[in-house]
Amino acid sequence: MRYISVFPIVVILSILFGSAFTGLVIAPGVASDVVRSPSVGLVAYSPTEAKGRKIYAREGCVYCHSQQVRNVKADENLVAAFGVSKAGDYFYDLPHFLGTSRQGPDLSNEGRVWRRDIGQPARDYLIGHFINPRQYNPNSIMPAFDYLSTQELSDLTDYIQSLGAWKDNVKEPLKVATAGL
């Protein structure tokens, strides 16, 4: 075994890596139109929402908040309230914010909880919560983003209110239980 020389090792390794590359990088893009087309009714981000999205990336919100609802028992309440996330829902997301951790709640439908049509109270809540989360939930471990400027807080709020909001305009509006969330 230890007499194999380098060249065949390099060739076989390239083939093995190449097959995984084909399977996980090329195939999803080429073979699957689910991945490459937007969901019906999906709306692109407005300029302020896009700015808010950049702040979300910069401040690392993704490390504690996921943006996906899975069709599993642990997500039962989310599925009942908002439905399961689909590939096309993320069409305009660059970079993606699916997340891998839930130190805090899932945010993929936050715009249907603190809806735009609630008006100023929803914005006041979101902005106040960014500045000092413990004013609303004394046990919260979310960092206080009190160093963001008024403009930044407003853009971030626009982004948060856009999350999932478009879904309400597609089917008959779902009854969303805002209490307790």
Partner 1 sequence: MTSIQDRNNVVTATLPRPNVEPLPIDLPDSAAQIWLYSGIFWMSITMLIGVVEAIKLFYPEFLQGVPALAYGRLRPVHINIGLFGFMSMGYLGATFYMVPRLTQTPLFSERLGSLTAWFWNFNLLGGCMGIMMGFSKGKEYTEIPFPFDMTIGLLVIAIAGNLFSTITLRQERRVYVSLWYILLAIIPFPIYYTLGNASKFSGIEDAIINWFYSHNLFGIWLTTLGLATLYYMVPKQVNKPLYSHIVSFVGFWTLAAFYPWNGGHHVIWGPVPMWVMTASVTASIAMFIPTCATMINFGGTAWGTWEIMKRDIGYRFSLLAYVCYVGASLWGTVLAVMSLNAMLHFTNMTIAHVHLGFLGFGVPGLIAFTYFYLERSLKLKYSQNLAEWHFWLTMLGIIGYVVSMGISGWMEGTAWEAGGSPQSTMLDRYPYHVARAVSGLIVMAGQFLFVWNVYKTVNYPINLPATSPDALEQSSVTS
Q: How many CA atoms lie within 13 A of 146 on its CB side?
A: 6
Which tokens sit at 121?
């109270």
**Phi–psi pair at 80, nearest 5 degrees:** -60, -40
Q: Which residues contact 129 (CB under 8 A, 6 or more apart)?
A: 135, 136
- Based on the shown chain and the rule CB under 6 A, indicate whether residue 63 belongs to the binding site for ligand HEM: yes
Torsion, Cα 61 142 123 148, to 10 degrees, reads -70
Which tokens sit at 178?
């805002």
Question: What's the closest the beta carbon of residue 129 comes to partner 1, in angstroms?
Answer: 12
Residue 177's binding partner out of partner 1, ligand HEM, none, with CB under 5 to 8 Å set by partner kind? none
Taking residues 71 to 110 in sequence order and writing x for each that binds ligand HEM by CB under 6 A, - otherwise, the string is -----------------------------xx-x-------
Question: What's the closest the beta carbon of residue 99 comes to ligand HEM, in angstroms?
Answer: 9
Q: Which residues contact 77 (CB under 8 A, 6 or more apart)?
A: none
Residue 175's binding partner out of ligand HEM, partner 1, none, with CB under 5 to 8 Å set by partner kind? none
Q: How far apart are CA 162 and CA 49, in angstroms?
A: 7
Minimal CB distance to ligand HEM: which residue?
A: 100
Question: What's the closest the beta carbon of residue 20 comes to ligand HEM, in angstroms?
Answer: 14
Which tokens sit at 67?
């943006």
Question: What's the closest the beta carbon of residue 157 comes to partner 1, in angstroms?
Answer: 17
Question: What's the closest the beta carbon of residue 63 comes to ligand HEM, in angstroms?
Answer: 5
| Residue number, 39 or 116, with CB nearest to partner 1 | 39
Note the residues at the interface with ligand HEM (CB under 6 A): 63, 100-101, 103
